């Protein structure tokens, strides 16, 4: 069990992707009668809200990434570049952008093709699991931005 926890901590994005895939499989093969009753008459509102939310979050993450790129010469970022988190930052941002784009696209596809009269179980599961993955990856972005903010500046950099 301890080895699984160590692996999950070291390969957190892979672990989160696997968790999202397991969520998809469980949702796909489970009884969803109560879920369909909840969605009845609300599909357009729910999928539309998801598409709008993930599209907005995609814009925020892209903006955050561009702000970080423009501040690479600042003292805090120079200090952060010397940490082990620097390369992880770009991997996490790129994966989060991709996950948010896929979640937005899945929500749009579900909005178009998943109807009360003709439910599309695959798109429902895809939309839910990509939303779950996007939220996990977004949490990684928040944690890494916190690491950037909490990185102590090198006192010699304050003179520049």
Least confident of 4-8, 16-20, 124-128, 153-157: 153-157
The whole-angstrom separation of Cα 27 and Cα 18 is 14
C-beta of residue 108 within 8 angstroms of C-beta of residue 53: no
Mean pLDDT of 61-90: 86
Q: In angstroms, what CA-CA distances link 24 with 36, 121, 123, 134, 159?
A: 16, 11, 10, 13, 52
pLDDT digits 0-9 by tens, 124-160 = 999 999 999 999 999 999 988 887 778 776 555 454 4
Closest CA to 50 of 102, 108, 93: 108
More confident call, 121 vs 6: 121
pTM of the model: 0.86
For residue 42 the two structure tokens come to 């609300």
**CA 50, 55, 143 angle in degrees (round to 5)?**
95
pLDDT digits 0-9 by tens, 34-59 = 888 888 999 999 999 999 999 999 99
Mean pLDDT of 72-95: 85
Helix%, strand%, coil% for the chain, nearest 5: 85, 0, 15
């Amino acid at each position: 069990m301890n080895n699984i926890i160590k692996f999950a901590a070291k390969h957190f994005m892979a672990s989160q992707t696997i968790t999202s895939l397991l969520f998809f499989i469980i949702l796909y093969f489970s009884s969803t009668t109560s879920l369909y009753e909840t969605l009845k008459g609300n599909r357009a509102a729910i999928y539309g809200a998801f598409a709008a939310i993930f599209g907005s979050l995609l814009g925020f993450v892209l903006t955050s990434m561009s702000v970080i790129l423009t501040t690479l010469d600042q003292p805090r970022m120079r200090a952060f570049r010397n940490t082990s988190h620097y390369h992880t930052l770009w991997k996490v941002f790129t994966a989060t952008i991709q996950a948010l784009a896929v979640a937005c696209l899945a929500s749009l596809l579900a909005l178009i093709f998943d109807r009360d009269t003709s439910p599309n179980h695959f798109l429902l599961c895809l939309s839910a699991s990509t939303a779950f993955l996007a939220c996990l990856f977004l949490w990684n972005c928040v944690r890494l931005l916190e690491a950037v903010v909490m990185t102590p500046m090198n006192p010699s950099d304050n003179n520049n």
